Amino acid sequence: MSSNGNAPTTRAGKAADYLDQRTSVGSAVKEFARKVFPDHWSFLLGEIALYSFIILIITGVFLTMFFVPSMALVEYHGPPATMDGQLMSDAFASTLHTSFEVRGGLLMRQIHHWAALIFMAAIVTHMMRVFFTGAFRKPRELNWLVGTLLMILGLLAGFSGYSLPDDVLSGNGLRITDGVVKSIPLIGSYLSYFIFGGEFPGDDIIPRLFTVHIFLIPGLILALVALHLFFVVLHKHTQYPGGGRTDKNVVGYPLFPVYTAKAGGFFFIVFGILALMGATMAINNVWSYGPFDPSPVSAGAQPDWYMLFLEGSLRLMPGGAEFVMWGDWTVSLNVLIPAVVVPGILFTFLFVYPFLEAAVTKDKREHHVLDRPRNVPVRTGLGVAFLTAFIILALAGSNDLIATHFHMSINTITWVFRVLIFVGPWFGFWITKRICLGLQRKDRELVLHGHETGRIVRFANGEYIEVHRPLDEQERWLRVNYSAHTPLEVEPATDSRGVRRKGYAQDKRMQRLSRFFYEDRIEPVTPAELAAAHSHGEHDAIAGGEHVEITSGAAVGGGRDLVEPDAENDGPPRH
């Protein structure tokens, strides 16, 4: 619709021209519309998170219209029958009112809650994709940090929202938070009084969490989402390895019209699925739990799934680790370790990993082509170890439900998980690394010898061979185009004049770490190896040499990697 001398004639054209003459928006639109985006379903995982966040805002705005963030006690009259006439806080009463008496209120609440669960699930899945494909490497380390911060903010958003209705379950969660805060040495009790405005539960926490939940955290998330997307545009999108894809190009389709339609349509699919879930599947029926009162805790009291690892960590910790120091200081290691130290370790790993890998790799290049997870076995193994720990903790947080549903003893389950939390991640790492190395070997095998076809050919001299079909160029490129990093080489401990070098110890440590990463590795097939593979044996399938062209003429004869005999055969078989 850009004008090159001719005035636009259509109505849309005129409107666009009007806008363009006043804002010069045309060049930006042109730039974005032509921006090329690579095609893969896993690149849409982040979009799920973004769209569920938008849905969270839309439904959240609706809910704020009816929610009363106050802990003042009222006697509630209204549906359901099980709550009629009970004493409760304004917050809980307004939640019941929204659910039962506001048209569409319960649907909005349920969509909001399902969207929150999906928001976190999509973030985690997106992070897994980024981690396992190495998309956090230079230049995207900072964006990984922004993303990890977004994940933590998502946890806080979820937790603060979960606590707002002031039902028994959310109050239990707040009580655990209170305990965790109090377990922090020295400042714990002061901090708890500061947060709750006095002794738990007080009258302040709901109004405070309301501000945090609807203003502070969504604002931060919005700002960081903007930064996150800005980085995506700035760095351009990563792409999966394949023919023609390099670190210097982006292979895909322009944003307009295909991706605009796909992404726009996907928003409505996400909204539709969330609306369907909200309409048909009950979630967080607060009237089942009843208004908060500090005394009752019901069976099956658990947080939403993304906080379940903390619950599990607390459930696994033996209670005996609490002791009283001189001067009457109680040190609650039984809470401090599982609720502060364990998540601290997990989050630190996420924040530090890109920089750790860069340090042990000493790789200063920019990477825009993604890694296949098998080609970086230790990273993939560490990712699986992390997930294993997270899943074991989440399962430990559900130990009572596992006990009732699988008819097991909760004590035994807890002990099994206590062992597994140490053994499981290690085992996950080890087996994943071995699988990756095995897959790499299989890739080498495939590149060198081609696909088995299952066709057995008998020669006149009685020899049987299986025919192998060589890989096409795309298949081969995918399997050979990566670099296997080698452990760091460090300079010697002393310089040429025999003086001890500063920083040698640090280098040595890095080298040890680097060996852990890259000691075991499978090198990609080199052109020379490929040539050698095709010329070994007395019956050459393909002539060897620097320049290999295996798709062309193929010969019939002995040798393990023989090509299809009835493929277009130029010359006679060479024997």
Residues of span 88-117 touching other proteins by CB under 8 A: 99-100, 106, 110, 113-114, 117
Per the CB < 8 A criterion, the answer to whether 493 and 528 are in contact is no
For other proteins, which stretch binds (CB under 8 A), given 290-298, 318-326, 343-351, 525-533? 290-298
For other proteins, which stretch binds (CB under 8 A), given 138-146, 323-331, 383-391, 406-414? 406-414
475 is a site residue for other proteins (CB under 8 A)? no
Q: Which of 84, 199, 445, 495 binds other proteins (CB under 8 A)?
A: 84
Q: Which of 398, 432, 440, 514 binds other proteins (CB under 8 A)?
A: 398
Calpha distance 491→511 (Å, rounded): 11
Q: Which residue in the block uniquely carries the two structure tokens 């299952």?
A: 454
Phi, psi for residue 89 in degrees, rounded to 5: -80, 160
What single string gives the DSSP state of each residue in 138-165? Answer: TT-HHHHHHHHHHHHHHHHHHHHHHHTT
- As measured in angstroms, the least distance from the Cβ of 290 to other proteins is 5
499 is a site residue for other proteins (CB under 8 A)? no
Q: Which of 85, 319, 320, 572 binds other proteins (CB under 8 A)?
A: 85
Size of the site for other proteins (CB under 8 A): 78
Q: Which residue in the block uniquely carries the two structure tokens 């938070």?
A: 177
Q: Which is nearer to other proteins, 300 or 527 (CB)?
A: 300
404 is a site residue for other proteins (CB under 8 A)? yes
Q: Which of 257, 296, 344, 438 binds other proteins (CB under 8 A)?
A: 296
Q: Which is nearer to other proteins, 28 or 282 (CB)?
A: 282
447 is a site residue for other proteins (CB under 8 A)? no
Q: Which three-class secondary structure state does DSSP give residue 36? A: strand
452 is a site residue for other proteins (CB under 8 A)? yes
Tokens of 256: 């307009």
- Enumerate residues 413-442 that contact other proteins by CB under 8 A: none
474 is a site residue for other proteins (CB under 8 A)? no
Calpha distance 55→117 (Å, rounded): 12
Q: What is the DSSP letter of 339?
A: I
- Enumerate residues 237-266 that contact other proteins by CB under 8 A: 262, 265-266
- Enumerate residues 302-361 that contact other proteins by CB under 8 A: 302-306, 308
What distance separates the 2 farthest-apart alpha carbons in the chain? 98
Nearest to 283 by CA among 82, 113, 79: 113
- Enumerate residues 181-210 that contact other proteins by CB under 8 A: none
Q: Which residues contact 90 (CB under 8 A, 6 or more apart)?
A: 68, 69, 70, 71, 72, 74
- Enumerate residues 111-170 that contact other proteins by CB under 8 A: 113-114, 117-118, 121-122, 125, 168-169
Q: Which is nearer to other proteins, 244 or 454 (CB)?
A: 454
Q: Compute, in degrees rounded to 10, the torsion defined by CA atoms 242, 243, 248, 252.
A: -70
Q: Which of 283, 331, 358, 391 binds other proteins (CB under 8 A)?
A: 283
Q: What is the DSSP letter of 460?
A: T
451 is a site residue for other proteins (CB under 8 A)? yes
Q: Which residue in the block uniquely carries the two structure tokens 């057995």?
A: 456
- As measured in angstroms, the least distance from the Cβ of 49 to other proteins is 10
- As measured in angstroms, the least distance from the Cβ of 120 to other proteins is 9
- As measured in angstroms, the least distance from the Cβ of 451 to other proteins is 7
Calpha distance 357→46 (Å, rounded): 23
Per the CB < 8 A criterion, the answer to whether 564 and 542 are in contact is no
- Enumerate residues 42-71 that contact other proteins by CB under 8 A: 42-45, 47-48
Q: Which of 290, 383, 470, 557 binds other proteins (CB under 8 A)?
A: 290
Q: Which of 399, 432, 440, 514 binds other proteins (CB under 8 A)?
A: 399
Calpha distance 243→381 (Å, rounded): 27
Per the CB < 8 A criterion, the answer to whether 548 and 527 are in contact is yes
471 is a site residue for other proteins (CB under 8 A)? no
Q: Which residues contact 558 (CB under 8 A, 6 or more apart)?
A: 459, 463, 465, 537, 538, 539
Q: Which is nearer to other proteins, 253 or 355 (CB)?
A: 253
456 is a site residue for other proteins (CB under 8 A)? no
- Enumerate residues 553-572 that contact other proteins by CB under 8 A: none
The Cα-based distances of 112 to 63, 91, 122 in angstroms read 9, 17, 15
301 is a site residue for other proteins (CB under 8 A)? yes
Nearest to 110 by CA among 168, 55, 51, 38: 55
Per the CB < 8 A criterion, the answer to whether 367 and 138 are in contact is yes
- As measured in angstroms, the least distance from the Cβ of 42 to other proteins is 8
Peptide bond into 80 cis (omega under 30): yes
Per the CB < 8 A criterion, the answer to whether 48 and 268 are in contact is no
Phi, psi for residue 74 in degrees, rounded to 5: -135, 155
Q: Which of 229, 255, 403, 439 binds other proteins (CB under 8 A)?
A: 403
Q: Which is nearer to other proteins, 25 or 258 (CB)?
A: 258
Q: Which is nearer to other proteins, 300 or 344 (CB)?
A: 300
